[in-house]
Amino acid sequence: MKNLLILTTLSLLLLIWGCNNSIPEKETFKEIKDEQGIFSITVPYNWQEMKGVLNDAAEIEAGNAKKELYFIALMEHKDDIAATFTEYNDLIKSSILETYGVESTSTPVTLEGYKANIFDFDATVETTNIHMWYYTIETENYYGQLLTWTLKSKRLAAEPLLKDVASSFKELNAATK
């Protein structure tokens, strides 16, 4: 009888443990906005706002430092830029060459319905090899740069998530300037 009780208890514990471990936890997401509430992105719950850490000029800075996944948005009002989106993209291409020493071509993409281009390249920052997905984007009122990056060795695993984060970028209340 004692053996039957132990066997039944053990079976129940294994069943409960097995059920708990066989159901994957659904990853939850959260929205991060810039300080003025003009722009937002959607990121996994384990990402943090990193204001003032990644780039002082960025409207949004976010990431998961433990997993080496990062995002920044640098936005400029169209009224302040004397360039078309194509010209703006060409300026960024020159900046990538100057900053990272990489000659990269862009591929047209759409992010949340916005016209965008992506530069996809490896670079070395200080002594760290990274892979970057560097977007130029045109929203209703802004031209911008969305930068996502990770360590070069984590590129393949990180690419889907980082592209999803960039694709979630929005200009909020776009009807107002």
Q: What's the mean pLDDT in 110-126? A: 93
What residues contact residue 118 under an 8 Å CB cut-off, 6+ apart? 106, 107, 109, 133, 134, 135
Mean pLDDT in the chain? 85
pLDDT at 5 over 60: no
Pairing of strands 60-64, 69-77: antiparallel
What is the model's pLDDT at position 107? Answer: 93
145 vs 100, which has greater pLDDT? 145
Domains in the chain, CATH or no CATH each: 27-171 (3.40.1000.10)
* Residues 107, 120: Cα–Cα separation, whole Å: 9
Tens digit of each residue's pLDDT (9 = 90 or more) over 13-34: 333 334 444 333 456 999 999 9
Q: Which amino acid is at 28?
A: T
Is the alpha carbon torsion for 16, 17, 19, 24 positive or negative? positive
pTM for the structure as a whole:
0.82
Record the tokens describing residue 109, joined without a space.
């993409």
pLDDT at 95 over 50: yes
What is the model's pLDDT at position 104? Answer: 85
Tens digit of each residue's pLDDT (9 = 90 or more) over 119-138: 999 999 999 999 999 999 99
